[in-house]
């Protein structure tokens, strides 16, 4: 991750309490369309943040891997689904498949994903700042602003602290 992105994460981490407070206030406003508000800030943040200059999510977060994800990865890797499980996955405390080790086993040295087109659904959806019903992801976003500089920017701006 480039130094500029580290500084964004550090700056926003110091604002965590006021961001949480601002989100609580936003959730109370019934007429406010949080989805549109977040989507707009998502677009702005990703004009500034280049995922390939970061890849912190791939280095530090382990997504939940579904059976469909395993099948997609197996096809892409030209392996049997069982071999994908044995090679790269384990079952976590919640009974879900996750990567056995981090960083992601498919993360290349250039931060490109070896199986980008077959990546797990959780990776496809990350970082959730442009999702419908974003209100349901706010707790996750507060955690993810310590990982993803784009989420950090979105949260800082949504909270009016930029």
Q: What is the pLDDT of residues 50-90, one digit of tens each?
A: 999 999 999 999 899 999 999 999 999 999 999 999 999 99
pTM (2 decimals)?
Answer: 0.90
CA 103 centroid distance within chain: 14
User: What does the domain layout of the chain look like in residue ranges?
Assistant: 3-58+126-158, 62-124
pLDDT in tens, 98-117: 999 999 999 999 999 999 99
Tens of pLDDT, residue by residue over 35-51, are 999 999 999 999 999 99
| CA–CA dist 56, 49 (Å, integer) | 12
Average model confidence (pLDDT) for the chain?
94
């Amino acid at each position: 991750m480039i130094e500029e992105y580290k500084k964004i994460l550090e700056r926003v981490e110091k604002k965590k309490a006021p961001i949480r407070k601002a989100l609580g206030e936003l959730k109370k406003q019934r007429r406010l369309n949080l989805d549109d508000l977040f989507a707009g800030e998502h677009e702005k943040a990703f004009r500034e943040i280049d995922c390939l200059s970061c890849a912190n999510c791939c280095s530090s977060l382990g997504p939940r891997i579904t059976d469909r994800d395993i099948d997609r990865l197996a096809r892409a890797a030209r392996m049997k689904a069982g071999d994908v499980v044995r090679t790269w996955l384990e079952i976590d405390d919640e009974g879900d498949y996750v990567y056995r080790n981090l960083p992601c086993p498919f993360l290349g040295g250039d931060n490109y994903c070896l199986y980008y087109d077959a990546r797990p659904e959780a990776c496809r959806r990350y970082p959730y700042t442009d999702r419908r019903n974003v209100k349901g992801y706010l707790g996750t976003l507060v955690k993810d602003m310590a990982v993803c500089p784009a989420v950090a920017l979105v949260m800082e701006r949504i909270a009016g602290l930029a």
